[in-house]
Structure 1
Amino acid sequence: MSKHDFIERIHHHLIVSCQALENEPLHGSETMAKMALAAKEGGAVAIRSNSPEDILAIKQKTQLPVIGLLKRVYPENEVYITPTKKEVDELLVVQPEVIALDATIRERPNQESLQDIVHYIHDNSNTLVMGDISDVRDAEYATEYGVDMLSTTLSGYTSYSPKQDDPDFELVKTLSQQATIPVIAEGRIQTPDQAKKMFELGAWSIVVGGAITRPQLITKSFSDKIK
């Protein structure tokens, strides 16, 4: 799938994040693939997924394009979403249409730079790069170094971005007006009305995760409300 085809495919459509870490009840590639198939049946046009194993299973089960990432923690470093070329190499084996990575201004492990990693992906594959950012400064930095699209995934998860319970509507609005590449709204989108509002503010596409694919969190939201 070409860059143009993918970007047009997701325009004003829903991407669903299907991820479950090792400590979560639904962890496992077979389960994530079934979750992704359910998302496809519900109208998702692409899937965001963590780990080569889950990506491969989801692609085989759904035939949907996948935004792939690999979460890995490095000692004394805050960057964990596809942090180094090592994770990129592992992802490229299963050929996701897009690789998502931390594109914040924070220092990366192994003294690697965002610019080097983005160029490495573009030079060694036809894979697009989604830059996960937390504020406008991150977005400018990521755009300068060649990411193909921006996602607001990390808003509220860096020390310098605002902490809030709701989605970062203001960031999406600002970036949609200023950015020269597509802006994907992601992070704390809990309801269809919030998703619709993101499109009204100018988002190219939206990613919804926990509100759809993490039943333990969905259950907790009900449980907490009725206590």
Structure 2
Amino acid sequence: MDIKNEILNKIKGGLIVSCQALKTEPLYDSYIMSKMAYAAMLGGAVGIRANTIVDILAIRERVDLPIIGIIKEEYPDSDVYITPTMKEVDALVEIGCDIIATDATNRTRPDGKSFEEFFKEVRAKYPDQLFMADTSCFEEGKLAAELGFDLIGTTMAGYTPYTKGRKLPDCELIERYSSELDKPIIAEGGIWCPDDLKAVYKAGAFSAVCGTAITRPMDITKRFVKALED
């Protein structure tokens, strides 16, 4: 079995836990994220999604699971911030990320390139790397599959101007992806409870990512407080 298939088999049918904290959040610390990932592994997670080189390296020291690596970087001339340019891809490849995820939406990249132009260069430079497309709608997933992405994710569904208001998790998109695209589908976004996880698998997901509901206690607390206010 080659390395790519070995990684895919490890994450198939399980739960990938996203362990991320932004600079504005109280848990922003590589040590804390490594502990979050370790706790997720002990709980049965099959993979970790993580942001920034320092967090990924810290997590790898404690956790022996496939890692979906991203770098969130904001540029003034674009709304794309998940692994937006070749610079971030290079950095993630350099540390040996198992899977690299990048925004695959129909929006101009920070360097002025289209998504298609950007990924054609990426794939030519790194033909053997596993890449995951963070998409928001079917047209984006279809194009990503044609361009050579290995996995198609629903990460950005509901987060682009043209998909705002979509019910999450987007089981309708997952179902269409799984029936029309010959690629592993990663359900991500809006998985708040075990029933949501069951629903995305019923819709045809290959694997699923859950983040906020597990690793963001501030947002979890806000959700409970809002319930009291309502």
TM-score w.r.t. the length of structure 1 is 0.95
Please, which moves more after superposition, 162-171 or 88-97?
162-171
Equivalent position of 2:57 in the other structure: 56
Instruction: Give 1:7 shift.
Output: 1.2
**Aligned equivalents of 1:166, 1:181: Cα separation in 2:** 21
Task: State the Cα distance separating 1:9 from its structure 2 match.
Answer: 1.2
Tell me the equivalent position of 1:205. 207
When structure 1 is superposed on structure 2, of 90-99 and 22-31 the one drifting more is 90-99
2:186 matched to which residue of 1? 184
Corresponding residue number in structure 2 for 1:16: 17
Match of 2:27 in 1: 26
Residues 123 and 148 in structure 2, CA contact (< 8 A), matched pair in contact too: no
Q: 1:122 to 1:208 in 2, by over 3 A?
A: farther
Name the residue aligned to 1:70: 71
| Paired AA for residue 109 in structure 1 | P
Aligned to 1:171: 173
In structure 2, C-alpha distance between the alignment counterparts of 1:29 and 1:184, rounded to whole Å: 25
- Stretches of 4+ moved more than 6 A in 1? none
Match of 1:89 in 2: 90
The residue aligned with 1:154 is 156
The percent identity for this pair of structures is: 44
CA distance in 1, matches of 2:222, 2:166: 19
The range that moved more, 112-121 or 164-173, is 112-121
Report deviation, 1:89. 1.4
List per-residue Cα deviations over 1:79-116 (Å, max 9, x = no partner).
Answer: 11000001111212211101000011211121334444
Quote how far apart the aligned CAs of 1:120 are: 2.7
Provide the residue aligned with 2:141 in structure 1: 139
Unaligned runs of 5+ in 2: none
Q: Distance in 2 between matches of 1:182 and 1:6?
A: 12
Of residues 98, 123, 134, the one that matches 2:125 is: 123
1:110 alignment partner, SS class: coil
